[in-house]
Structure 1
Amino acid sequence: MNKISLALCALVAATPMALHAQEVTLRLSHWIPAGIAPAAEGIEPWAKAVEAASDGRIEIKIFPAQQMGKAPDHYDMAAQGIVDMAWVNPGYTAGRFPIYALTEVPFMVSDSVRGAKAIHEWYAEFGAPAEMPDVKLCFIHPHAPGALHSKVKITKPEEISGKTIRPAHATMARFVSLLGGAPVQVPAPEVREALSRGVAEAVTFPWGSMYDFKLTDEVQQHLDMPFYMSAQTLLINPASYDALSDENKAVIDAHCTPEQSSVVAQGWFDDDMAAREKLIADPEQVLNVPTDEEIAAWRAAAEPLIAEWREAVAAKGGDADAIYDGYIKALEANDARY
């Protein structure tokens, strides 16, 4: 056999392998500025890990800062295939995901890294099939439990009364109203202006966001307790997933697990804790540690939110008792219960 024939045989033999090694570019959209912790310490490392695990077959092209659509639209963007992947805050569409809203109830989660795994395990069983059936759940991405940051010292729930507060999500807005405060709904990038103009007197924010959005000269009193949490999700369009080769599906599957939720959450947690330490070291900032009695009062004040959550889930036909018990068991099993 001559050299040309040998070369043709080699080419034919290699063809099935070449066809099998699917190369694909997936579009991932999120709504925060590039370089801020959730992106730099969570989303971007995850995307790079997928690319590396696929030996470069999968490229993930990231579109930050609402380039592809507004933050509240990201669920529908994933469901409708406008993008292949979307980083979604379910709390931005109040009432649409009543089961998931349990993650927004304050004083429930002590640790976001272990909590991410717990929420993923719980929601994959009790929530996603019922209220997110038109997307594929990939990972849960919370910040470390955030705090209440204010212009004046606040350590008791009754001290919310009469104050204007920018809440993190719909559940926190209801909590503020329940305590006699006035929620001020503005996007995160507009919080500084709201505080500087006196439109808001306090904000519920992650620790790292105090520096991300340059708020330390506006609010210098910080309630040092796990006040609330906001857990974002990465969702995948099912058609985009189904179009992948089996080899590439395996890579995505390996990076869409409860364990991966913890891995992704770690970077944001570390950034938040570093920001908290920076605040502690700043003589201009004051961290107020509540007493046991004050913590108990905050917990008691939040109990009506759980009752509201139960009613909302039952109204949609859900078994609120089983779903709630499942959540508590998942948190306790992962040592994430506050």
Structure 2
Amino acid sequence: MSVQTRPNSGLFNKLRTGLVRNTTLAVLIAGGVFAVSATASAADVIKWRLQSHFPTSSSSYKDSVERLQKVVAERTDGRLQIEIFPAGTLFKANETFNAVSRGVIQMGTISPGYVQDKLTLAGIASGLPFAFREVWETAYFHTQLGFEDMLRKEAAKYNVYYSTDKVYPTEMVVKKPINSWEDFKGLKIRSSGILQRFLTDAGASGVYLPGTEVYSALASGVVDGAHWGASQGAKSTGLYEVAKYHVKPPLNIAGTDAFIINQKALDKLPDDVRTILVQALDEQFWLRTNEYLYKEQITLAKAQKEDGVKVIVLPEDVQQRLTDSAQKLWDTEAERSPEAKDAVERLRKFLGELGYL
């Protein structure tokens, strides 16, 4: 006859009650820890404001600014949140640098052309005409030959950290092929800024027109050619409908967009958050440069197929004349400061090594 043993019911109940109490206590403690942790996380969130010079309609607003916003939020687990404002929301484009410098906002995006009164290297950053012929050359000049560091050093005088977003080409479209110097120097070309001055000095006629008038001016024959970025700009604005020749090499290749950060705000960030932000900006330079170049290639291929666009290369004698004319503008920029002189000397040496000078 087997004997069945039963647990002591009193002892069992005591153990069970103790287990429940301990479990409940553990849950409460854990919940308290989670609650404290959640409160601490909320308290540790850093919120910045960024004023961009891109309107929301610009592809760079999404591809550059919104991308960085998302990457930084993800990699910092939400500890750094950047609120972005499109062009003109808080300040005019040419006021953003001062706002960041004074710490009114923590970040911004600008074109270096907006700050030529402050940064003597801004003209070079905007793109000296007929210097580089390939995008990689400009990227190398910025990152390997020290130009980006020079820009950051000069911007630091204004309590600003400077980071170029990308480098990309400016290329023009024309209504007739260019087979000789005579063909080129008779052109009326819609342009702006330093490139307008360059084209006029070189022998063509640089004509400024607002973007809204470029298509009609080409269609009616007011101008013979124009530049609006490169292939992406020409395609999106319909210029290929009335100008079937896409001209290479570029008029310039430059880092005409940049992120700027208030240096004191950057220094106040926790070390790991600051490292993530700076690394994200450095990474973005390469990613956006390559992405933009990729989109240029596929857009131009699409324009050739769909719009009958033909790619033409300027004759060597025309390229040489343009280079000679461009160097006068290089010399003018070099006179702005010892730093600008150094940058132009580095540029000339590099182009000489590449066989362009």
Supply the RMSD in Å over aligned alpha carbons: 3.6
**2:54 corresponds to:** 32
Higher helix share: 2
Q: C-alpha separation between the residues in 1 aligned to 2:220 and 2:94?
A: 26
**2:198 corresponds to:** 175
**Cα deviations across residues 100-134 of structure 1 (Å, max 9, x unaligned)?**
32241123223435633642552343233225532
**1:76 corresponds to:** 98
**2:207 corresponds to:** 184
Q: Is the 8 A contact 2:130 2:323 kept in 1?
A: yes
Q: Is the 8 A contact 2:151 2:162 kept in 1?
A: no
**2:190 corresponds to:** 166
1:247 aligns with 2:272: yes
**1:217 corresponds to:** 241
Instruction: Tell me how many residue pairs correspond in the alignment.
Output: 329
Q: 1:190 to 1:223 in 2, by over 3 A?
A: same
Q: 1:78 to 1:289 in 2, by over 3 A?
A: same
Shift of 1:14: 7.8
1:1-338 counterparts in 2 under 5 A? 7=28, 11=32, 15=36, 19=40, 22-34=44-56, 36-94=58-116, 96-103=118-125, 104-112=127-135, 115-116=138-139, 118-120=141-143, 122-131=146-155, 133-134=157-158, 135-143=160-168, 145-154=169-178, 156=180, 159-161=183-185, 163-168=187-192, 170-188=193-211, 190-196=213-219, 200-204=223-227, 205-231=229-255, 232-257=257-282, 259-282=283-306, 284-313=308-337, 318-327=338-347
Q: C-alpha separation between the residues in 2 aligned to 1:46 and 1:284?
A: 37
Q: C-alpha separation between the residues in 2 aligned to 1:29 and 1:191?
A: 28
Shift of 1:278: 1.8
Shift of 1:172: 0.9
Shift of 1:200: 4.0
Per the alignment, in what secondary structure is the counterpart of residue 60 of structure 1?
strand
Q: C-alpha separation between the residues in 1 aligned to 2:67 and 2:226?
A: 29
State the 4+ residue runs in structure 1 displaced beyond 6 angstroms. Answer: 329-333
Q: Is the 8 A contact 2:120 2:340 kept in 1?
A: no
Shift of 1:310: 1.7
**Which of the two has higher C-alpha Rg?**
2
Counterpart of 2:131, as a letter, is M
**Cα deviations across residues 71-104 of structure 1 (Å, max 9, x unaligned)?**
3333234323444322211124555433232241
Q: Bigger CA drift: 187-196 or 123-132?
A: 187-196
Q: 1:40 to 1:273 in 2, by over 3 A?
A: farther
Counterpart of 1:78, as a letter, is V
Unaligned 5+ runs, structure 2: 1-20
Q: Is the 8 A contact 2:188 2:206 kept in 1?
A: yes
Q: 1:328 to 1:156 in 2, by over 3 A?
A: same
Q: C-alpha separation between the residues in 2 aligned to 1:75 and 1:160?
A: 38
**Cα deviations across residues 22-58 of structure 1 (Å, max 9, x unaligned)?**
2233333323343543233333333322222112222
Q: Is the 8 A contact 1:208 1:273 kept in 2?
A: no
Q: C-alpha separation between the residues in 2 aligned to 1:120 and 1:195?
A: 38
Shift of 1:149: 1.4
**Cα deviations across residues 239-259 of structure 1 (Å, max 9, x unaligned)?**
4323433332121122232x5
Unaligned 5+ runs, structure 1: none
Q: Is the 8 A contact 2:148 2:163 kept in 1?
A: no
Counterpart of 2:286, as a letter, is S
Q: C-alpha separation between the residues in 1 aligned to 2:92 and 2:245?
A: 32
**Cα deviations across residues 129-158 of structure 1 (Å, max 9, x unaligned)?**
225532111333222x22121233335555
Q: 1:276 to 1:312 in 2, by over 3 A?
A: same
Per the alignment, in what secondary structure is the counterpart of residue 125 of structure 1?
helix
Q: Percent identity?
A: 20
**Cα deviations across residues 151-171 of structure 1 (Å, max 9, x unaligned)?**
333355554545443325x32
Counterpart of 2:90, as a letter, is M
